[in-house]
Structure 1
Amino acid sequence: MNLYTERHGLRKPITRTSEISLEVYTLLLDICQKYYKNLTHIFKIQQHYDFLNEDYIEFNRTLFEKRMAIKIPNIFRDKHGYISTPQFNDDYDQYSLIDLIEYIAQNIKDISEGWNNNRYKNYWYIHCLDTTNVFADFQNEINEIFKEAGVLFTLTSRKIIERVVENTPLSPEIETEIHQISEPGTRELMIDAIALYKTPNPAARQDSVEKIWDALERLKTYYTNLDKRGSVNKVVNEMSNAKSEFITIFNAEFRALTDIGNNFRIRHHETNKIDITDHRHYDYFFNRCLSLIALAIQYLN
């Protein structure tokens, strides 16, 4: 739903960020708590109503909290040990909140609930169903907050949180082609590199770049019946359709990326390597290497 100032271009652009502010944390946690009862199939407690001699099921909050203390130990808790919203100046771990969102997403199930009797309302019951249609509602509510707050994360249909990467050549089509690479070592390195690249924690950027450079080096030896130089020449020749101008361009790009991998702290960690201190530079290196690999794999036999 677009409001008046959005429809008429009167609102300042939202600042895009990878930081979950206290306000956004509060909204996301409220959504999570709203869907706790959809975990009743895991955390249930059986109650008994003596007057009607009937049993019924409730969500076991105590059991849930004990399990989360083991599963997500660093998430913010109040003085009673319950998962809670941080207050002003409290330290909190935003990635632990992401853990909670993913846990709910991956375990959420539909329920049927209500009063046992609409007139007397003796007790409130929960019936656990074996379907997961409710996930779509949970996903939409989480992603709506991410989008409105400009947080560069999204809860995917695979029920994991990924960062939203802007200005990247990575696309579903490229990912499909990568999964179809016949050489298993190159394929696995590329899949790992992309998974790390999408991880919300910026600390994973270095690992993603290291993996994709490993994939580049593996790609150079794609044709195992040739030595490394011969294999690279064959890859470049096929990419270039044997046209000399493109052979020159792609040879230069392979050499440039090799030099980057050798001179910067990507694949090697000696003290004389150039440190990469700005995570946006990791994005640049990743996307540059990806562009060459994504083109090359379209021509591999």
Structure 2
Amino acid sequence: MRRTDFYSDRINGPTPRVHEQLPERTSKGLLSLFINKIEAHWFAERFPEHCEDGNGICGTNGRGVWTDVEAHVPNMAMTGGYYGGSFSYEQADEVTFDLIEYAASRLSKPKNREWHDFMKHHELSFDEAAGRKAFRDEVNTILQRGGTVYELSPQLEIIRIGTPAVQQVLEQLTPASGDDDLDGLLLHAKELFLSRKEANRGLALDKLWDAFTRLKTVDVQGNKLRSISVLLQNIDNEAFREVTNAEMNALTKLGNDFMIRHHETGTHSVPPEAYDYLFARMGSLIVYLLKVSGRLG
């Protein structure tokens, strides 16, 4: 199923991605998916139960799974342990995300092979790549339908994709400036901003503003004002060149007045709820300047 293959998405458009905290239904849906994969033997290749009448895998060593889960996710809420107790569907968001990442890196899609009539079961074969893709698609459908700002990446890590404006910047920001330091700062800013950790997203703004400063100096080394003038000359429309120059000055002042590039007394802290706005605004400007100067990959 495609991530937007729902009637309401086709009629009204995709659900807005705005939730920083997992809605209750989304959290329970992810946890239910995790439990279902255990019960459907998606962990059997890693934690096998072997057929007593042969050498094939016929099921899952459930106790082995849960012992391993509890060791890797020690903050998981359980009541008396899974066996003889119950798994709680009320978990902190970080625990839910840990369980999803745990599952994504350990499961494989099972397929029935030979039927053992006497034992009344199939032997199983497994496809790890297909299992990971299917699981990632299911997780991302739940996260998208719940309107969250999170996604399970191809690297099987939960990342924060941010608002639509941020997503557009992250997609377009593929620098090929010829300046390794500038490209490195931009790529590091992207990596940090995808983090679920708020502190890392604050650091991403530092790197983005540092990259902006670097971009203003790459054309004429040793003469910042002349370098900015050369950069702006890439904009053919004179009126829009002035608009861009004003935006560059405004964001330079913002970076100096707030604790982005400078942290002296008298500078203001950046409220975390403004991180997306600032990243999208500065990122959009940098993407535009890279594009008009032929530095965008």
1:72–1:100 contact (8 Å) kept in structure 2: yes
CA distance in 2, matches of 1:74, 1:183: 45
Structure-1 residue corresponding to 2:27? 25
1:235 equivalent to 2:239? Answer no
Measured against aligned partners, the alpha-carbon deviations of 1:180-203 in whole angstroms (never above 9, x if no partner) come to: 332222222222222333334444
Question: Out of 250, 253, 256, which is 1:256 matched to?
Answer: 250
Structure-1 residue corresponding to 2:288? 295
Structure-2 residue corresponding to 1:145? 142
Alpha-carbon RMSD across the aligned residues, in angstroms, is 3.4
Measured against aligned partners, the alpha-carbon deviations of 1:223-256 in whole angstroms (never above 9, x if no partner) come to: 3644333322222222x23x65444333322222
1:95–1:201 contact (8 Å) kept in structure 2: no
2:19–2:147 contact (8 Å) kept in structure 1: yes
Structure-1 residue corresponding to 2:276? 283
C-alpha displacement at 1:167, in angstroms? 4.2
1:265 equivalent to 2:259? Answer yes
Question: Out of 43, 48, 55, which is 1:44 matched to?
Answer: 48
C-alpha displacement at 1:134, in angstroms? 2.9
1:178–1:297 contact (8 Å) kept in structure 2: no
2:108–2:131 contact (8 Å) kept in structure 1: yes
Query: Secondary structure of the equivalent of 1:162?
Result: strand
- CA distance change for structure 1 residues 151 and 284 in 2, over 3 Å: closer, same or farther? closer
Measured against aligned partners, the alpha-carbon deviations of 1:126-148 in whole angstroms (never above 9, x if no partner) come to: 3334x522334323322332233
1:128 counterpart letter in structure 2 = F
The farther-off stretch of 72-81 and 97-106 is 72-81
1:163-174 equivalences under 5 Å are 163-168=160-165, 170-171=167-168
Query: Secondary structure of the equivalent of 2:56?
Result: strand
- CA distance change for structure 1 residues 16 and 125 in 2, over 3 Å: closer, same or farther? same
C-alpha displacement at 1:274, in angstroms? 0.8
CA distance in 1, matches of 2:220, 2:88: 56
CA distance in 2, matches of 1:177, 1:2: 30
Structure 2 gap ranges (5+): none
C-alpha displacement at 1:44, in angstroms? 3.2
Structure-2 residue corresponding to 1:64? 65
Query: Secondary structure of the equivalent of 1:297?
Result: helix
CA distance in 2, matches of 1:143, 1:56: 33
2:260 counterpart letter in structure 1 = I
1:100 equivalent to 2:102? Answer no
2:103 counterpart letter in structure 1 = I
CA distance in 2, matches of 1:188, 1:60: 46
Greater relative CO (CA pairs within 8 A, separation 6+): 2
Equivalences, count: 283
CA distance in 1, matches of 2:111, 2:51: 18
CA distance in 2, matches of 1:56, 1:39: 15
2:161–2:167 contact (8 Å) kept in structure 1: no
Structure-1 residue corresponding to 2:124? 126
1:106–1:159 contact (8 Å) kept in structure 2: yes
1:194 equivalent to 2:190? Answer yes
1:115–1:122 contact (8 Å) kept in structure 2: no
CA distance in 1, matches of 2:121, 2:263: 63
CA distance in 2, matches of 1:229, 1:69: 59
Q: What is the identity percentage for the equivalent residue pairs of Structure 1 and Structure 2? A: 22
CA distance in 2, matches of 1:220, 1:272: 26
2:163–2:276 contact (8 Å) kept in structure 1: no
Structure 1 gap ranges (5+): none
TM-score (norm 1): 0.77
CA distance in 1, matches of 2:166, 2:19: 20
2:190–2:204 contact (8 Å) kept in structure 1: yes
